[in-house]
Every structure is written in structure tokens, then in C-alpha cells.
């Protein structure tokens, strides 16, 4: 397997040096390029020679957000993007630009390791989709959100904040304080109500099966009839969720796909 081609973008040489030191513990990621400002970053990314970029937000001439917006405007395919910044107020913009993660300086080694794992997981998913056309078509049918729908979810924890792509979500569960997002790596609180969240979810990706539960059918492992039109679904994260008769019409449509 070839190394993951990695571009480091930061106007501070010390910051790039620190990134290189942290990446030295992850030989799968090979630093094959560096840029000291937005203009250099734009030129490097136009080549399409990188799988992932660690991108500083605040830089002279072009900042990190402007770099990505120019690439998008030109129709340039983007690598996976990890924003690296000392300021958390850019999280919303990073979300809109589909960043895979958002690291705050000073960088914490454990948090960085978690980010690298997320990068490798996302790249593996991309490679699987490219290798198997049938799988790619199936995943597209379930996980390709329309432009108006939310396709990443910002999780804010006391020590860190990060994004969970829609494709990684097993299900959402309503709680007394909001919503829990359940994924393979754990469950995380979201500051919203399930009804409000449902309005932002792509119906081609998510299905409401209960007034307190919305699932991602791509993560169903198996299911069985429970009682009186209800079904028990086992999800990829090992948890079980139950549908209710109130949402039986949507569940029946889903089950036809498994027939």
C-alpha cells in the first residue's frame, strides 16, 4: 500500500516542524509537500498530488478557508482536509467546507492520534468505493446528501471538538437534554432537538423509525420482527434499536431493500 501523501500548510516554520514530529509516529502518512502561505498551498493542491492536507486557517495573502473555496470554485477535487488553528471560531466555516477534523493549537498528541485514525478511516472508505463499483453505487444511494442537507455533525466536548461525517453515524437518539449521536467510535451529545435535526437530514441517508430514534440504514447488521409491526435492528456499533408502529410505513419501505 502506498504512503498517504500529506501536505503541511502553515506560515510558521515551527508549526510545520511540530506537525512533522507528530506525524513521525504514523509512518503511513508521508509528508511529501509543505507550503508557507495560501498562495503556495493553492498551487500545491492544484496538482492533485495529495491525499490529505493539514491546513492552517490564518495565513498571509490567502487564508485556509479562501484556499479551499477557490479550489471548490474551480471544480478541483479536494484531498481530505484537517484544519489546524489556534482559534475555535472557524469551526462553522470548516464544517461548511467538509473538513474531516479541526485541531486546535497547541496540538495534543492524543487528540492528534485520534485525528490520524479518522483520516485513515476516511481514506479507506474512499478506496473501497473506488475498488468496488457495486458498493460505490450502494453507498451513494444511502450516503450522498443533497446540497441542502447536513452531511457532517460538529461534536463539542470539553477537551476537543471534531466532525462526524454522516456516513459514520449509526443512529441518533433523543435524550432529555438533546440528542446522542451514535457511531462506531462512541456516542456523543449534540445540542439540538431530534425534531430540528430531522429537518436537516437527507431522507436518502437517514430514516426515522421511532419518535426518539433516526437510523442510518447503511449501518444495519441484521434485524428481526419484534411484535405488532415493530422491528429490532442490530447496528454496526453493536447497539440495538427498535422501530415503532407509528413509523411502520417507512420501515416497510426500508425492509423491501433487504428482500
**What pLDDT, on the 0 to 100 scale, is given for residue 128?**
53
3-class state of residue 220 by DSSP: strand
In SS3 terms, 237-253 reads as CCCEEECCHHHHHHHHH
DSSP-derived 3-state class of residue 168 = helix
> Along the 259 residues of the chain, how does pLDDT read in single tens digits?
689 999 999 999 999 999 999 999 999 999 999 999 999 999 999 998 999 999 998 888 888 888 888 888 888 888 899 988 887 665 555 555 667 888 888 899 999 999 999 899 888 876 655 444 443 454 444 444 444 788 899 888 887 888 899 989 999 999 988 999 999 888 999 988 999 999 889 988 999 999 999 999 999 988 888 777 789 999 988 899 999 988 888 888 888 766 6
CA 104 – CA 242 distance, rounded (Å): 38
Is the Cβ–Cβ distance between 191 and 156 less than 8 Å? Answer: yes
Is 46 within 8 Å of 3 (Cβ atoms)?
Answer: no
Three-state secondary-structure class, residue 31 = strand
- In the sheet that holds 230-235, the strands lie side by side as 220-227, 230-235, 240-242
Regarding pTM above 0.85, the answer is no
Say how far apart CA 154 and CA 177 lie, in whole Å: 17
Amino acid at each position: 500500500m502506498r504512503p498517504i501523501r500529506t501536505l503541511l500548510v502553515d506560515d510558521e516554520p515551527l508549526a510545520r516542524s511540530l506537525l512533522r514530529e507528530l506525524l513521525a509516529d504514523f509512518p503511513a502518512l508521508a509528508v511529501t509537500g509543505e507550503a508557507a502561505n495560501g498562495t503556495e498551498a493553492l498551487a500545491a493542491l492544484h496538482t492533485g498530488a495529495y491525499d490529505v492536507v493539514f491546513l492552517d486557517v490564518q495565513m498571509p495573502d490567502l487564508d485556509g478557508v479562501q484556499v479551499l473555496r477557490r479550489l471548490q470554485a474551480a471544480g478541483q477535487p479536494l484531498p481530505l482536509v484537517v484544519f489546524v488553528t489556534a482559534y475555535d471560531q472557524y469551526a462553522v466555516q470548516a464544517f461548511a467546507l467538509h473538513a474531516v477534523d479541526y485541531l486546535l493549537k497547541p496540538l495534543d498528541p492524543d487528540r492528534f492520534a485520534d485525528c490520524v485514525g479518522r483520516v485513515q478511516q476516511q481514506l479507506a472508505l474512499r478506496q473501497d468505493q473506488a475498488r468496488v463499483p457495486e458498493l460505490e453505487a450502494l453507498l451513494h444511494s444511502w450516503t450522498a446528501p443533497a446540497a441542502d442537507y447536513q452531511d457532517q455533525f460538529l461534536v463539542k466536548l470539553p477537551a476537543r471538538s471534531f466532525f462526524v461525517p454522516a456516513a459514520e453515524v449509526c443512529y441518533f437518539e433523543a435524550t432529555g437534554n438533546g440528542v446522542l449521536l451514535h457511531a462506531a467510535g462512541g456516542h456523543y451529545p449534540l445540542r439540538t432537538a431530534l425534531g430540528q435535526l430531522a429537518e436537516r437530514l437527507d431522507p436518502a441517508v437517514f430514516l426515522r423509525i421511532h419518535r426518539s430514534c433516526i437510523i442510518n440504514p447503511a449501518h444495519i447488521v441484521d434485524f428481526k420482527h419484534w411484535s405488532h409491526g415493530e422491528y429490532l435492528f442490530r447496528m454496526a456499533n453493536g447497539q440495538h434499536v427498535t422501530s415503532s408502529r407509528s413509523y411502520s410505513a417507512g420501515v416497510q419501505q426500508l425492509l423491501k431493500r433487504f428482500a
